[in-house]
Amino acid sequence: LQDLVRAIPALKAYGFALPRSWADLARLVPQMCRLTGISDDACRRAVEQMGEQQAAVAIAVTLQKYDRQEVKSPGGYLRAMTDRAAAGELHLARSIFGLAARNCMEALN
C-alpha cells in the first residue's frame, strides 16, 4: 500500500486522505471516479472483473495518469484495463512500480 501511495501523488494533490488500509483506498473509489469522470458503469465493471481492491488500484493509477495528462478518457482507460484483466493481461504491480520510479527520478531532477 505504501508503494501505491508513493506512486500516486495525485491522491494528496487532490486533497484525498491518504489511505492507511486497502479498505481506505476502496472507500476513495467513488470520489476518484467523480473527479476523473469515470462512469458508475465503468467502475462497477472494474469491480466485478478485478475485485474491489484491484479495481481501486486501477482507478488510482488512472487518477495519476489523468493528473499527468497522459490519459484523455479515464473511463475508456479503465475499461481497457478491465478488458486486460479479463484476458489475464493486466499487471498492476508493474504500473505502480513504474509510476513510483518515474516520480522518484523526477524528484531527483
The count of structural domains within the chain is 1
Stated pTM of the model: 0.93
Average pLDDT over every residue of 10-38: 95
Residue 74 to residue 18: CA distance in whole angstroms: 21
Query: Comparing C-alpha atoms, which of 57, 63, 68, 62 is closest to residue 24?
Result: 57
For residue 46, the enclosing domain spans 2-108
> What region does 88 belong to: left with phi over 0, alpha with psi -120 to 50, or beta?
left
Residue 94 to residue 14: CA distance in whole angstroms: 24
Per-residue confidence band for 45, with pLDDT thresholds at 50, 70 and 90: very high
